[in-house]
Amino acid sequence: MIASAIRSGSRYALGTRVLHWLAAVLVFGALVVGFVLANSLADYAVLLSVHKVLGALVFVVFVIRVLNRLTDRGPALPATVGRVERIAVVGSELAMYALLLAQPLLGWAMLSASGVPVVLGGALRLPPVVPVNAELFGLLRDAHSVVAYALVAMIAAHVSAVLWHTLTLRDGMLRRMTFGGDEPLELRRRT
């Protein structure tokens, strides 16, 4: 009974895990569509429409994630995570959340500056957040691109760190955010 309580306490709450993976799928989709959009002339209007909806969903999910993170502190980090790495974990999490909240807002502002109305799904029309201005559009487009590349780098570092902990250190880092059995992989192998 006690071991079970300890194992179940080594995971994030179910709602936090669902939000994490929902956000991961939305962010991945928005990045892929955004990179295709930036490098393609074919189906531009369709890609832009999909990208705008994904961006809006990313923003909404990350606002919810921030609120959830304030109430669900999550399980303690494994003992294999040292003091300096703990600081890096917290700092990178804060930076990723900031970028993922800023990116959709930059996209919205960029479209507003271009004069393109922000219509989501053909039904919801968002008001412009900045005046139409070609110079401002250029600055916002560059910022939107820089943040996209920064997000790709941060996500790659995040996934790499989790895989390193999971495959090399075998400390259960990935299990904290996954679904399925509560028994650690190490215990399953022994039985």
Residue in this structure with the two tokens 């929902």, named with its chain if needed: 22
What tens digit of pLDDT does each residue of 116-150 get? 888 887 889 999 999 999 999 999 999 999 999 99
Domain ranges (residues) in the chain:
14-70+83-177
**Residue at 25: amino acid letter:** V
| Predicted structure pTM score | 0.85
The torsion defined by the Cα of 90, 108, 146 and 49, in degrees rounded to 10, comes to: 110
pLDDT (average), residues 170-187: 76
* Contacts of 36 by beta carbon, 8 Å cutoff, 6+ apart: 47
Burial class (CB in 10 A: 0-12, 13-18, 19+), 82: exposed
What would the mean pLDDT of 46-74 be, rounded to a whole number?
A: 93
**Single-letter amino acid, residue 118:** V
Q: How many H helices and E strands in the chain?
A: 6, 2
Which H/E stretch holds residue 126? strand 124-126
Cβ partners under 8 Å of residue 30, min gap 6: 51, 54, 55, 58
pLDDT confidence of residue 41:
75
* CA–CA dist 110, 131 (Å, integer): 10
Return the minimum-mean-pLDDT range out of 26-30, 58-62, 148-152, 179-183: 179-183
pLDDT digits (tens, 9 = 90+) for 156-166: 999 999 999 99
120 three-state secondary structure: strand
* pLDDT above 60 for 187: no
